[in-house]
Amino acid sequence: MKIIVMGANGLMGNEFRRVLPARETYFASRLDCDITDINSIRRYIRGLNINDEFTIINCAANRDAERMEFDDYDLAKKITVDGPHNLAVVANEMGGRLIHFTSDYVFDGTKNTPYLESDKTNGLSVYGRLKVCSEQDLLATANNIIIIRPAWIFSSYGKDFVKTIYNLGQTRPELHVVYDQVGSPTYGADLAKYIAQIIPQIKQNTREIYHLTNEGVCSWYDMACAVKQNCNLPCEIIPVRSHEYQQNARRPSYSVLDKSKIKRDFNLCIRHYSDALKECCEQIKGK
Ligand SMILES: NC(=O)c1ccc[n+]([C@@H]2O[C@H](COP(=O)([O-])OP(=O)(O)OC[C@H]3O[C@@H](n4cnc5c(N)ncnc54)[C@H](OP(=O)(O)O)[C@@H]3O)[C@@H](O)[C@H]2O)c1
């Protein structure tokens, strides 16, 4: 089984570089393959001369929900919906399978018990609504598709909440962090590891959505406090409400994701985010 990682220079692309076997995997940057151009995808995959089964993992994205509220809508749609659609079309043509990521932002946060895959989606932001469109489109287009909904990804790579707290917490006396948004953090390294584990078990002609985060539930405030503790930051963390913290994109106030389906279907054992966060903080401190 060969694996092609698209958008391989981003946060999750780098996490996959750590866990996928180098001999079996092709890592495509945006320059190697632009997913918004279907012929670029065809050219790139044909050039690999794969004579085996293959899986495309799509990490190519624009996840800047804040900017997306104001940026050109068609551009945002191009990378969030049209690009994944192109990958599905080419995967169908060449007999491959697609793994794609959406997000907890597909939900509006009005539930107060963990969201199931079958729950009604209702994105509150442009990013969230476009992720809903991409899910609907891929389920209708792709012959073989797994859509993974992670949430609140943290990692030693790329831009994320943990590094933001770590960097600001060393220079500012206090940090204001929202405590009225509750979710399920996901360690990028664990997400990549769990996906590598499930790939050999995916059945032919699958069309499924799965929630996949670490175990545990917290607010952004709780998570910031845990980063402060793990990294011995000298700052004070002040809890604030979302409306006191200026943001353009509306976020779900509750987006805990139920992971029973992926645990059952793939026999996955998922660790608690607090253990993963300790590991991530150690890596960030060591850099
Ligand atoms: N990070 C999170 O907190 C989070 C949470 C939930 C879900 N997700 C989802 O998880 C997936 C992976 O996210 P990530 O955090 O790894 O994103 P990321 O760090 O922003 O990486 C995205 C990568 O996509 C590349 N890219 C952009 N446009 C492209 C194009 N047209 N063709 C090919 N590549 C292109 C970028 O290339 P350049 O390096 O050249 O810009 C970048 O390397 C996304 O679908 C995201 O929505 C992320």
pLDDT of residue 166: 97
Domain count, the chain: 1
> How far is the centre of ligand 1, averaged over its atoms, from the C-alpha of 140 (Å)?
23
Please identify, by atom number, the ligand 1 atom nearest to the C-alpha of residue 101: 45
> How far is the centre of ligand 1, averaged over its atoms, from the C-alpha of 158 (Å)?
10
Please identify, by atom number, the ligand 1 atom nearest to the C-alpha of residue 79: 31
pLDDT in tens, 103-152: 999 999 999 999 999 999 999 999 999 999 999 999 999 999 999 999 99
Structural domain includes residue 43:
yes
> How far is the centre of ligand 1, averaged over its atoms, from the C-alpha of 174 (Å)?
30
**Mean pLDDT of all residues belonging to the chain:** 97
Half-sphere exposure of 219 (CA within 13 A, CB side): 16
Q: What is the mean pLDDT of residues 52-67?
A: 96
Structural domain includes residue 109:
yes
- Tell me the residue range of the domain where 87 lies: 2-158+185-215+256-270
pLDDT in tens, 206-237: 999 999 999 999 999 999 999 999 999 999 99
Q: Roughly how many angstroms between the first and final C-alpha of the chain, as a whole number?
A: 34
Structural domain includes residue 94:
yes
Please choose from 5, 12, 149, 186 the residue to mutate so as to test ligand 1's pocket, defined by most ligand atoms within 8 A of CB: 12
Looking up tokens 């709780």, which residue turns up? Answer: 222
> How far is the centre of ligand 1, averaged over its atoms, from the C-alpha of 234 (Å)?
32
Q: Are 173 and 235 in contact (CB under 8 A)?
A: yes
pLDDT of residue 154 exceeding 90, the answer is yes
Structural domain includes residue 240:
no
pLDDT of residue 245 exceeding 90, the answer is no
Q: Which of 51, 247, 281, 261 is nearest to 165 (CA)?
A: 281
Structural domain includes residue 251:
no
pLDDT of residue 134: 98
Decide: 153 in ligand 1 pocket, CB within 6 A: yes
Structural domain includes residue 13:
yes
Q: What is the mean pLDDT of residues 156-168?
A: 96
> How far is the centre of ligand 1, averaged over its atoms, from the C-alpha of 12 (Å)?
7
Neighbours of 24 (CB within 10 A): 11
> How far is the centre of ligand 1, averaged over its atoms, from the C-alpha of 62 (Å)?
5
Q: Which residue's alpha carbon is at the smallest distance from atom 38 of ligand 1?
A: 30
**Which pair of tokens denotes residue 78?**
């191009």
- pTM of the entire structure? 0.98
pLDDT of residue 287 exceeding 90, the answer is no
Structural domain includes residue 15:
yes
Decide: 143 in ligand 1 pocket, CB within 6 A: no
CATH of the domain at 143: 3.40.50.720
pLDDT of residue 165 exceeding 90, the answer is yes
Question: How many angstroms separate the CA atoms of 219 and 170, rounded?
Answer: 21
Structural domain includes residue 118:
yes
Q: What is the mean pLDDT of residues 58-75?
A: 96
pLDDT of residue 246 exceeding 90, the answer is no
